[in-house]
């Protein structure tokens, strides 16, 4: 377990949140023109790297709002938290 700082509610235990996968996935502009393989890539293929990754999280047992987290998946260290629609903080 680790602590996540919700940008709306403050610090809470990880058990209050649901992970939503990789952040900043851009929906195709013309989805009807994609092949089945291209559509499957968009829906299912994610980086899932070991290291720093941009993720979406939902405060499921709190305010229920979505936000983004920059987290190192190798040690669960959170580098930054920012609201949906905001640009990631620069280091």
Residue 90 lies in a domain: no
pLDDT digits (tens, 9 = 90+) for 4-32: 999 999 999 999 999 999 999 999 999 99
- The Cβ of residue 11 has, within 10 Å, a number of other Cβ atoms equal to 8
pLDDT at 69: 97
CB hemisphere CA count around 21 (13 angstroms): 8
Residue 52 lies in a domain: yes
Residue 54 lies in a domain: yes
pLDDT digits (tens, 9 = 90+) for 32-66: 999 999 999 999 999 889 999 999 999 999 999 99
Q: How many structural domains comprise the chain? A: 1
Domain at 10, CATH number: 3.30.2270.10
Which domain covers residue 35, as residue numbers?
3-83
Token digits for 20? 């939503």
pLDDT at 37: 95
Residue 91 lies in a domain: no
Whole-prediction pTM value?
0.86
Residue 89 lies in a domain: no
pLDDT at 90: 84
Cα–Cα distances in angstroms (integers) from residue 45 to residues 61, 83, 85, in the given order: 28, 24, 22
Residue 88 lies in a domain: no
Residues in the chain: 91
Residue 70 lies in a domain: yes
Token digits for 44? 């299912």
pLDDT of 91 higher than 90:
no
């Amino acid at each position: 377990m680790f602590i996540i700082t919700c940008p709306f509610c403050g610090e809470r235990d990880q058990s209050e949140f649901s992970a939503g996968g990789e952040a900043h996935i851009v929906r195709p502009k013309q989805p009807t023109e994609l092949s089945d393989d291209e559509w499957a890539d968009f829906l299912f293929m994610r980086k899932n790297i070991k290291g720093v990754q941009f993720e979406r999280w939902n405060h499921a047992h709190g305010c229920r709002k979505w936000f983004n987290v920059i987290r190192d998946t190798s040690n669960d260290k959170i580098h930054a938290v920012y609201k949906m629609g905001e640009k990631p903080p620069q280091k």
